[in-house]
């Protein structure tokens, strides 16, 4: 999508050894797939119009007819519903747009943004998930009676009656190894390999850190910046605090 957001949601799938993950943009044929994911968007109605203009509404219907699965995350979740209302013009001109009619939900964009860390379990296999929400939308409708995630104080997301479509506001849905395995099994992968995305990510960070340490003259850089040993220590402490948070 032209206004895709939070694309790091899909890094665990992009790196997974059993998944052929592809971003499909304009002027590309829509390939046969087991799973299609609609990502988050900074302007949901505009990206929904873009999807329609590129033939994705018919492609999704055909994909589902042939037994494929669909997931919508955040803005993609909103697109799967009956309508999206933006009475305050938060993502463009004020107005409404019909959704893809695949889930029994309606979303209204409100000025106050929902922003919070969240923990819960998938209703698929009770797999634990940890992530965050960041959205303006308030979603309601009977589709929410079949939630995807159970949180400590509420539920999130929806599962279609036929079980082929999932939607959620949850970012980080695939980060947890057990949650990712449960979702891949739901999508049709029979023998899912163990893949620890968190460990893979830490190894990547360590690789970059080691390369920096090996090839940069940190003392020379500190001298150019006029950092005294005390200032340098404070900078390191600030960096550590930033990483921990």
**Which of 9-23, 86-100, 208-222 is least confident?**
208-222
Task: Say whether both 25 and 136 belong to one domain.
Answer: yes
Number of domains in the chain: 2
Task: Say whether both 188 and 209 belong to one domain.
Answer: no
* pLDDT exceeds 70 at position 113: yes
Residue 180 a catalytic site member: no
Which of 63, 136, 171, 180 is catalytic? The answer is 171
Please report the pLDDT score of residue 204 as a whole number.
83
Task: Say whether both 215 and 137 belong to one domain.
Answer: no
Q: How far apart are CA 205 and CA 182, in angstroms?
A: 27
Task: Say whether both 53 and 145 belong to one domain.
Answer: yes
Q: What is the CATH number of the domain that holds 136?
A: 3.40.50.880
Where would I find the beta strands (DSSP E) of 87-199? Answer: 95-98, 106-122, 128-140, 149-151, 155-156, 158-159, 165-168
Who wins on pLDDT, 238 or 221?
221
* pLDDT exceeds 80 at position 162: yes
* pLDDT exceeds 90 at position 243: no
3-state secondary structure of 116: strand
Task: Say whether both 167 and 186 belong to one domain.
Answer: yes
Please report the pLDDT score of residue 188 as a whole number.
96
* pLDDT exceeds 60 at position 231: no
Q: Per-residue pLDDT tens for 164-212?
A: 999 999 999 999 999 999 999 999 999 999 998 888 888 888 888 888 8
Q: What is the mean pLDDT of residues 4-28?
A: 93
Task: Say whether both 148 and 215 belong to one domain.
Answer: no
Q: How far apart are CA 168 and CA 181, in angstroms?
A: 17
Q: Per-residue pLDDT tens for 38-70?
A: 999 999 999 999 999 999 999 999 999 999 999
Please report the pLDDT score of residue 239 as a whole number.
63
Task: Say whether both 75 and 180 belong to one domain.
Answer: yes
Of 21, 127, 134, 151, the C-alpha closest to 77 is 134
CB-based contact 168:77 (threshold 8 Å): yes
Q: Per-residue pLDDT tens for 127-136?
A: 999 999 999 9
Task: Say whether both 113 and 218 belong to one domain.
Answer: no
Q: What is the mean pLDDT of residues 67-74?
A: 97
Task: Say whether both 148 and 209 belong to one domain.
Answer: no
**Which of 5-14, 147-156, 235-244 is least confident?**
235-244
Please report the pLDDT score of residue 236 as a whole number.
64
Task: Say whether both 214 and 186 belong to one domain.
Answer: no
Residues in the chain: 245
23 sits in the region (left: phi over 0; alpha: psi -120 to 50; else beta) called: beta
The residue segments making up the domain with residue 206 are 198-244
Please report the pLDDT score of residue 207 as a whole number.
87
Which of 74, 135, 136, 180 is catalytic? The answer is 74
Q: How far apart are CA 157 and CA 143, in angstroms?
A: 8
* pLDDT exceeds 80 at position 93: yes
Task: Say whether both 152 and 240 belong to one domain.
Answer: no
């Amino acid at each position: 999508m032209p206004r895709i957001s939070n694309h790091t949601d899909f890094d665990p799938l992009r790196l997974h050894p059993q998944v052929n993950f592809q971003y499909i943009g304009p002027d590309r044929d829509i390939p046969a797939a087991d799973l299609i994911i609609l990502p988050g968007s900074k302007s949901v109605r505009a990206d929904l119009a873009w999807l329609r203009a590129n033939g994705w509404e018919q492609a999704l219907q055909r994909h589902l007819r042939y037994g494929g699965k669909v997931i919508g995350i955040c803005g993609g979740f909103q697109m799967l519903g009956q309508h999206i209302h933006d009475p305050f013009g938060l993502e463009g001109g004020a107005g409404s747009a019909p959704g893809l009619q695949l889930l029994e939900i309606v979303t209204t964009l409100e000025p106050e943004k929902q922003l919070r860390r969240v923990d819960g379990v998938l209703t698929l296999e009770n797999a634990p998930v940890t992530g965050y929400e960041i959205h303006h939308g308030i979603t309601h409708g009977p589709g929410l009676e079949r939630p995807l995630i159970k949180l400590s104080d509420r539920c999130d997301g929806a599962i279609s009656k036929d079980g082929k479509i999932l939607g959620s506001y949850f970012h980080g849905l695939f980060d947890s190894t057990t949650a990712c395995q449960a979702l891949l099994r739901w999508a049709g992968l029979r023998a899912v390999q163990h893949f620890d995305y968190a460990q893979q990510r830490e190894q990547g960070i360590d690789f970059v850190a080691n390369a920096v340490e090996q090839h940069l003259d940190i003392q020379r850089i500190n001298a150019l910046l006029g950092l005294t040993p005390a200032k340098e220590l404070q900078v390191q402490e600030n960096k550590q605090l930033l990483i921990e948070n």
